[in-house]
Amino acid sequence: MADGSSETKSSNQMWGGRFASGPDAIMEEINASIGFDKKLYAQDIRGSIAHATMLAHQGIISAEDKDKIVHGLDTILSEIESGAFEFSRRLEDIHMNVEARLATLIGTAAGRLHTARSRNDQVALDFRLWVKEELQRTERALTALIGAFLDRAEEHAETVMPGFTHLQTAQPVTFGHHCMAYVEMFGRDRSRVRHAIEHMDESPIGAAALAGTGFPIDRHMTAKALGFREPTRNSIDTVSDRDFALEFLSIASIAATHLSRLAEEIVIWSTPQFGFIRLSDAFSTGSSIMPQKKNPDAAELVRAKTGRINGSLIALLTVMKGLPLAYSKDMQEDKEQVFDAAESLELAVAAMTGMVRDMTIRADRMKAAAGSGYSTATDLADWLVREAGLPFRDAHHVTGRAVALAEQKGCDLAALSLAELQAINPAITDKVFDVLTVEASVASRTSFGGTAPAEVRRQIAWWRARN
Binding-site member from 93, 247, 379, 455 for ligand ARG (CB under 6 A): 93
Report the residue number, 121 or 455, with the smaller CB distance to ligand ARG.
121
Minimum Å gap between C-beta 319 and ligand ARG is 11
Minimum Å gap between C-beta 335 and ligand ARG is 6
Residue 222 in contact with residue 203, Cβ under 8 Å? yes
Instruction: Indicate the pairing of strand 168-174 with strand 202-203.
Output: unpaired
Q: Going residue by residue from 21 to 40, which x/- string records binding to ligand ARG, judged by CB under 6 A?
A: ------------x---x---
Instruction: Indicate the pairing of strand 202-203 with strand 230-231.
Output: parallel
Report the residue number, 14 or 363, with the smaller CB distance to ligand ARG.
14
Report the residue number, 126 or 382, with the smaller CB distance to ligand ARG.
126
Please state, in angstroms and rounded to a whole number, the distance separating the CA atoms of residues 128 and 241: 11
Active site residue 250: no
Residue 119 near ligand ARG by CB under 6 A? yes
Cis before residue 326, ω within 30 degrees of 0? yes
Residue 65 near ligand ARG by CB under 6 A? no
Query: Could you say which of 10, 62, 78, 287 is catalytic?
Result: 287
Minimum Å gap between C-beta 315 and ligand ARG is 15
Site residue total, ligand ARG (CB under 6 A)? 10
Minimum Å gap between C-beta 318 and ligand ARG is 17
Please state, in angstroms and rounded to a whole number, the distance separating the CA atoms of residues 292 and 121: 58
Report the residue number, 44 or 382, with the smaller CB distance to ligand ARG.
44
DSSP annotation of 300: H
Residue 117 near ligand ARG by CB under 6 A? no
Q: How far from 378 is each of 161, 209, 407, 455, CA to CA, in Å?
A: 16, 66, 16, 19
Residue 120 near ligand ARG by CB under 6 A? yes
Footprint of ligand ARG on residues 296-335 (CB under 6 A)?
A: 327, 329, 331-332
**3-state class of 466 per DSSP?**
coil
Residue 271 in contact with residue 334, Cβ under 8 Å? no
Minimum Å gap between C-beta 134 and ligand ARG is 17
Please state, in angstroms and rounded to a whole number, the distance separating the CA atoms of residues 305 and 309: 6
Minimum Å gap between C-beta 94 and ligand ARG is 8
Q: Residue-wise over 153-174: b if at least 16 C-beta within 10 A, else e?
A: bbebbbbbbbbbeeeebebbbb
**Cβ atoms within 10 A of the Cβ of 249, count?**
28
Q: Going residue by residue from 331 to 350, which x/- string records binding to ligand ARG, judged by CB under 6 A?
A: xx------------------
Report the residue number, 37 or 382, with the smaller CB distance to ligand ARG.
37
Which amino acid is it at 408? Q
Report the residue number, 236 or 424, with the smaller CB distance to ligand ARG.
236
**Can you name the residues that pair with 203 across neighbouring β-strands?**
231
Report the residue number, 15 or 448, with the smaller CB distance to ligand ARG.
15
Identify which range of 119-127, 161-169, 290-298, 357-365 contacts ligand ARG by CB under 6 A: 119-127
Alpha helices by DSSP H, listed for 58-174, are 63-82, 94-106, 119-155
Query: Could you say which of 166, 288, 417, 447 is catalytic?
Result: 166
Closest of 318, 148, 131, 337 to residue 253, by C-alpha: 337
Residue 123 near ligand ARG by CB under 6 A? yes
Active site residue 62: no
Minimum Å gap between C-beta 130 and ligand ARG is 12
Please state, in angstroms and rounded to a whole number, the distance separating the CA atoms of residues 397 and 217: 78
Residue 381 near ligand ARG by CB under 6 A? no
User: Cα-flanking dihedrals φ and ψ of residue 93, to 5°?
Assistant: -140, 180
**3-state class of 370 per DSSP?**
helix
Please state, in angstroms and rounded to a whole number, the distance separating the CA atoms of residues 88 and 97: 7
Q: Going residue by residue from 138 to 167, which x/- string records binding to ligand ARG, judged by CB under 6 A?
A: ------------------------------
Minimum Å gap between C-beta 361 and ligand ARG is 48
Please state, in angstroms and rounded to a whole number, the distance separating the CA atoms of residues 213 and 210: 9
Residue 188 in contact with residue 393, Cβ under 8 Å? no
Report the residue number, 329 or 458, with the smaller CB distance to ligand ARG.
329
Residues with a known catalytic role:
166, 287
Q: Which residues bind ligand ARG (CB under 6 A)?
A: 33, 37, 93, 119-120, 123, 327, 329, 331-332
